[in-house]
Amino acid sequence: MHARTLFTMAAIAVGTASGPLARPAATVRILVLNMHAGKDAGGKSNLDGVAELVKTTDADLVLLQEVDRGTNRSGRVDQIDVLQKNTKYDAAFSASLLDYDGGEYGIAVLSRGGIGYRSTIPLPVTPLQTRAGGSHEPRVAQLVLALVRGDNWRALNTHIDPSDAQARAQEVAHLVETIAVQRAERIPLVVGGDFNSTPDDPVQQTLRGAGLRDAWTECGQGDGFTYPADAPAKRIDYLFLTGDLHCSAARVIDTQISDHRPVLVTLK
C-alpha cells in the first residue's frame, strides 16, 4: 500500500435533458451498486449497461461490489478495464479473492476526478467461514483518496457477509476501526456498499455509533428497498455520510441492470 499524488482532474459535465441527468452545479453525486459480476437480474452479461448507468447518472464517485477481473464466468474480461474505457473515469480495484475462477473477484471505486491513494483493508473473521464446496470468501474494505470537484475526499467501499450474523458483526467491527482513523483526518469521508443487512440489523446500530449517518434516512423517501432488483423487498445497499456532509436527495433507480438496484445520492 502506498500513497501517490493526485494528478488528474476532469471537467465536470453539465447535465442536460438529452444526456446525463440534470442537476444543480454545486452538488456531488455518488452511486452505489452491487453489479452482480457485470450481469443483469436475469444473469445476462450487461457490463455496457453498468457503464451507461454511470454516465447517465452523472456520478462523481461510484462504489461497486461483485466485480470480476479475468474470471472464466465473465469471459476472462477485465471488467475494471472495460468500465474505465467506457466511462473515462479513473478506477481502483480491491480483490477479496485473488484466485477465483481463473481470475480475481472483489470491489471497486470509479472516480471522474481521479484517484490517488488506494488500499485494501482485510476484514477477518474467526472462525474462518467455509462456503459450499469448502471454499472461503474473505471480506475486505477499500479505501481511496479521490478528487471530487477539486477537493480531496476519502471513500470507503465494502461488501459485508450475507449469511452469518457473527461474521458480519466482526467485519463491521474492523470497519469501524478504520472509520475512526479516517474521520480523525477531517477530510470529507463517505462510506458505502452492500452491507447485506437491513436497517434493524445490529451492525447498523454499530455503524451509527461510529458516527455514520444513513443518507437514505437523511434525504430519501419511501422504503428504499434495493434487493432483489425484480421485486425489491429489503434495503441492504447504503451510503453513509460523516461530518459536515449532507445530502439533498437519495433515490433507488428502478432498473434490473443487476440483481440489486442502484442507490444514487446527491450531496449539497
Residue 3 lies in a domain: no
Mean pLDDT of 69-81: 97
Structural domains in the chain (count): 1
% of residues, the chain, pLDDT over 90: 85
Residue 188 belongs to some domain of the structure: yes
Determine the structural domain holding residue 44 and report its residue range. 28-267
Residue 111, pLDDT > 50, answer yes
CATH number of the domain that 242 lies in?
Answer: 3.60.10.10
Given a contact cutoff of 8 angstroms between Cβ atoms, the answer to whether 121 and 140 are in contact is yes
pTM value > 0.95: no
Query: pLDDT value at position 127?
Result: 85
Strand 61-69 vs strand 263-267: parallel, antiparallel, or unpaired? Answer: unpaired
All three cell numbers of 113, joined, read: 476526478
> In this model, does residue 18 exceed pLDDT 60?
no
In a domain, 207, yes or no: yes
CA distance linking residue 253 with residue 251, whole number of Å: 6
**Helix extents (H) in the chain:** 47-57, 79-87, 165-183, 202-209, 215-219
Confidence at residue 26, expressed as pLDDT on a 0 to 100 scale: 80
Give the dihedral sign, CA 83/138/160/36: positive
Residues 201 and 163: beta-carbon distance below 8 Å: no
Measured between alpha carbons, how far is 242 from 255 in angstroms, rounded to an integer? 28
Percent of the chain at pLDDT exceeding 70: 88
pLDDT at 6 over 80: no
Residue 226 scores a pLDDT above 70: yes
Q: Is residue 206 part of a domain?
A: yes
Whether residue 136 lies inside any domain: the answer is yes
Query: Cell triple for residue 198?
Result: 437491513
Of 246, 6, 265, 203, the residue nearest 117 (C-alpha): 6
Pairing verdict, β 115-123 and 103-111 = unpaired
* Residue 140 within a domain: yes
Domain presence at residue 89: yes
Tell whether omega for the bond before 127 is within 30 degrees of 0, i.e. cis: yes
Mean pLDDT value across residues 103-119:
97
In a domain, 2, yes or no: no
Main-chain dihedrals φ then ψ at residue 74, nearest 5 degrees: -105, 25
The pLDDT of residue 134 is above 60:
no
Q: Given the DSSP bridges, would you call strands 90-100 and 103-111 parallel, antiparallel or unpaired?
A: antiparallel
What is each CA distance from 18 to 22, 56, 205, 266, in whole angstroms? 9, 9, 41, 20
Distance CA 152, CA 20 (A): 24
